Amino acid sequence: MITLWHNPRCSKSRQALALLEDRGVKVTVRKYLEDAPSLAELQALHAALGHPPVIKMMRPQEPEFKAAGLSKTDDNGTLLKAMAAHPKLIERPVAISGDQAILGRPPENVLKLA
């Protein structure tokens, strides 16, 4: 079972979902813009991704990044809190299986959890 943090308006997210479904993988879709993850969930995701720099989990080109006064050099805690407050800043898609996760950039990455 894979949980996919999904934005249906994103082509990469749609591609990742299709790849998983085409291989018969059971997928639970979480529309994270409607059901925003908590700070604790984002911290758990950070750990499941192997503790990358948090900026790698973000979409710094989104207008909300600049509007929130964020910088790519901000500390991890600040960036995680910003994603909790502004889920649009979360890089998508995110595939989660158990205590492992992967960013679907490129979408084929999600197959590593299948």
Residues with a catalytic annotation lie at: 10
- Measure the CA–CA gap between 48 and 7, rounded to whole angstroms: 20
- Measure the CA–CA gap between 93 and 3, rounded to whole angstroms: 10
Looking at residue 69, its amino acid is G
Q: Where are the alpha helices (DSSP H) in the chain?
A: 11-22, 39-48, 63-67, 76-85
Q: Count of CB atoms within 10 A of residue 34's CB?
A: 8
Residue carrying structure tokens 């960013």: 103
